[in-house]
Amino acid sequence: SLPRDCPADVERLGRHTWTFLHTTASYFPPSPSLAQKSSMLSLLTSLPTLYPCSSCADELGSYMKSHPPKEAVEGGRSTLERWLCEVHNEVNERLGKEAFNCDNVGQRWRDGWEDGRCD
C-alpha cells in the first residue's frame, strides 16, 4: 500500500509556504497588470487572516501594518521579491535563524545559482 503522509506541522507548513510565496514573487511580472497587482495584494493581505498558524499570522499582521505590501506590489517583481525577503528575514531573526542575503533571491527562487548548483 502507498505510504501515508501526516498533517503539516508549523515547520513544514512554513517551508512549503515560503517556497510558494518566493517562487510566485520571482515569477511576478516586472510590469504587472492591474489584475495581477490586485490578486497579489489579496493573496498577501489574506495571510494574516488565513495562515493556519495563529501566532505566525498575528506576527505577520503586525509586521504588515508597519511594512504594507502595497508599494512593493505596485513596483513589480524586483520590489516584491525584496519586500518578501525582508518579511522572511524578520521571521528568521525572531526564530534565531540566519538572515538571507536579499541580493540572491532571484538565484535562489528563479534563475538557479550562478555556479550551476541547481542544473
Which residues of this chain interact with ligand FAD, rule CB under 6 A? 10-11, 14-15, 17-18, 22, 47, 51, 55-56, 59-60, 85, 88-89, 91-92, 95, 97, 100, 105, 108
**Residues 57/62/66/72 CA torsion (nearest 10 deg):** 10
C-alpha cell at 71: 508599494
- In angstroms, what is the minimal distance from the CB of 73 to ligand FAD? 16
- In angstroms, what is the minimal distance from the CB of 72 to ligand FAD? 13
Query: How distant, in Å, are the alpha carbons of 33, 65, 83, 84, 87 from that of 52?
Result: 29, 19, 22, 19, 17
Beta carbon nearer to ligand FAD, 32 or 44: 44
